[in-house]
């Protein structure tokens, strides 16, 4: 499995992904789930969850398209068109496999993407692209998307993330969300890739890979864990005498 989170804030975008993949419990491996498409007038960041063969193929196909006469991620006019292109590339790939009857083998070939970025002169935007190729866009009301093992880390996002949350607060919240997920689910693991894009920017404001032992991440995990225990102890017990 995998866990990716992306947040669309007033201040810009926070994109984060883990890097563990597994096929069963034997085949654990590390693969980056974040692909960056950087051109002069734009930055697009793609996060992926699901079948690794599918996600890698779709990313490779999207990269191969660049420079061709057709639409590709570095020449489409809008983020909407970019999401549409990712969706159609995914659909084309999956239908090719369906024709070969490979989809009947019981293997789940599907995957889900999050696409975030900005194109010069346009607002930053964020989309979730479904296995069917259709997609939804983040809004002020629903400013974050998760894909993969999303449930363990959802409660803290629900409590903290708003459209006007400060970017560094959002980064902290995303890291806490990953911490809860990593503790409760073996299929999500470090390293953790994070990329920030400030509004109006078309380059990453920051790109960081948290490795095991990263001092800030270690301190955050310890403070959070210790703080939770202290908070938990501070809450009164039920007023029952039994």
Judged by the rule CB under 8 A, the positions of this chain that interact with its own copies are 149, 151-152, 154-156, 158-160, 168-169, 171-173, 176, 180-181, 183-184, 196, 198, 205-206, 208, 216, 219-220, 223-225, 227-229, 231-232, 234-240, 242
DSSP 63-104: HHHTTSSS--TTT-SSHHHHHHHHHHHHHHHHHHHHHTTGGG
Q: Whose CA is closest to 21, among 40, 36, 1? A: 1
Helices (H) and strands (E) in the chain, counts: 5, 12
C-beta of 235: minimal distance to its own copies in Å? 5
Contact between 87 and 81 (Cβ < 8 Å): no
C-beta of 71: minimal distance to its own copies in Å? 32
C-beta of 165: minimal distance to its own copies in Å? 11
- Beta-bridge mates of residue 206: 196
Q: Whose CA is closest to 195, among 205, 207, 203? A: 207
C-beta of 191: minimal distance to its own copies in Å? 16
C-beta of 80: minimal distance to its own copies in Å? 28
d(CA 18, CA 37): 19
Nearer to its own copies, 97 or 198 (CB): 198
d(CA 45, CA 38): 8
Nearer to its own copies, 77 or 183 (CB): 183
d(CA 225, CA 37): 36
Both tokens of 233, joined, read: 């102890």
C-beta of 66: minimal distance to its own copies in Å? 28
């Amino acid at each position: 499995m995998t866990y990716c989170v992306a947040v669309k804030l007033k201040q810009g975008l926070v994109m984060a992904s883990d890097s563990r993949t597994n096929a069963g419990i034997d085949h654990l491996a590390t693969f980056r789930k974040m692909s960056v498409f950087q051109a002069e007038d734009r930055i697009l960041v793609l996060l992926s969850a699901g079948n690794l063969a599918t996600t890698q193929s779709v990313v490779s196909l999207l990269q191969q398209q660049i420079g061709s006469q057709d639409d590709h991620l570095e020449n489409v006019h809008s983020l909407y068109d970019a999401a549409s292109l990712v969706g159609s590339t995914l659909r084309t790939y999956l239908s090719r496999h369906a024709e070969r009857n490979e989809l009947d083998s019981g293997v789940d070939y599907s995957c889900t993407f999050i696409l975030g970025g900005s194109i010069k002169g346009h607002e930053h935007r964020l989309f979730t692209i479904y296995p069917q190729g259709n997609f939804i866009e983040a809004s002020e009301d629903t400013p974050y998307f998760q894909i993969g093992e999303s449930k363990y880390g959802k409660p803290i996002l629900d409590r903290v993330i708003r459209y006007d949350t400060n970017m560094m607060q959002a980064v902290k919240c995303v890291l806490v969300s990953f911490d809860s997920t990593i503790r409760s689910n073996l299929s999500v693991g470090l390293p953790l890739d994070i990329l920030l894009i400030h509004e109006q920017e078309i380059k990453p404001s920051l790109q960081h890979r948290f490795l095991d032992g990263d001092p800030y991440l270690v301190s955050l995990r310890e403070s959070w864990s210790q703080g939770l225990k202290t908070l938990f102890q501070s809450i009164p017990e039920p007023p029952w005498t039994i």
